[in-house]
Amino acid sequence: MLDDTLTRVSWRARPRSFVALMSLYESNFIRLGWLAGGLCRLEGGHRSQVAGDCDLLLTVTGRSPYTTTANLTYVLPEAAGAVAYPDMRLCIYHDAHLVEAQDWAAGHGQPVLKALRMAAERELDQRWARNMMLNKWLEYCAERGHRFSTATRVTVAD
């Protein structure tokens, strides 16, 4: 298993710089790999179920020779029905071994996520906010025991 703590970061990389952001994308690739294994082989939808945690859904939405787009979200139980949250759109760059969180839910009911989104004004800051959130979330999901495999495959309508 790859360990993102061993990822070399350029000595020129400053926090919140573009170079450091690319290192964060590389860490996202490694952490998503912890959950899903070979990212270039991902297809369809997957549901990971772990006792004591919400279901985690990964749905491939597009594929090209060098990239895969996917949605990653929790299914949160609510009185009015299940809610997909934070509903992140990911782009997996297979040739560069990077994963970028390109977008997340349009509105946030959680105060911490709402504050994080409001504080990110510049494009670089917005990318940092989304991808730091993804990075920590992937680590959390892996620690909780979430995994995607052929056994977790579901129909996309599920």
Residue 8 lies in a domain: no
Helix (H) or strand (E) holding 5: none
Structurally, how many domains does the chain consist of?
A: 1
**Stated pTM of the model:** 0.80
- Nearest Cα to 96, choosing from 32, 25, 36? 25
Residue 139 lies in a domain: yes
pLDDT, position 82: 76
Three-state secondary-structure class, residue 70: strand
Residue 5 lies in a domain: no
pLDDT, position 123: 74
pLDDT, position 55: 93
Residue 112 lies in a domain: yes
pLDDT, position 16: 72
4 alpha-carbon distance from chain centroid = 15
45, 151 contact by CB (below 8 A): no
Helix (H) or strand (E) holding 28: helix 18-36
Cα distance between the two ends of the chain: 30
The two three-digit tokens of residue 152, written as one number: 């977790």
Cβ neighbours for 83, distance < 8 A, ≥ 6 positions apart:
75, 76
Residue 138 lies in a domain: yes
Distance CA 131, CA 48 (A): 21
pLDDT, position 10: 53
Residue 47 lies in a domain: yes
pLDDT, position 87: 85
pLDDT, position 151: 83
Q: What residue has token string 């997340």?
A: 104
pLDDT, position 100: 97
Domain ranges, residue 63: 14-154
Residue 2 lies in a domain: no
Output the tens digit of pLDDT for each of the chain's 158 residues.
Answer: 566 666 555 545 566 788 889 999 999 999 999 999 888 888 899 999 999 999 999 999 999 999 999 999 998 877 777 777 778 999 999 999 999 999 876 555 666 666 665 655 567 788 888 899 999 999 999 999 999 988 888 876 54
Residue 6 lies in a domain: no
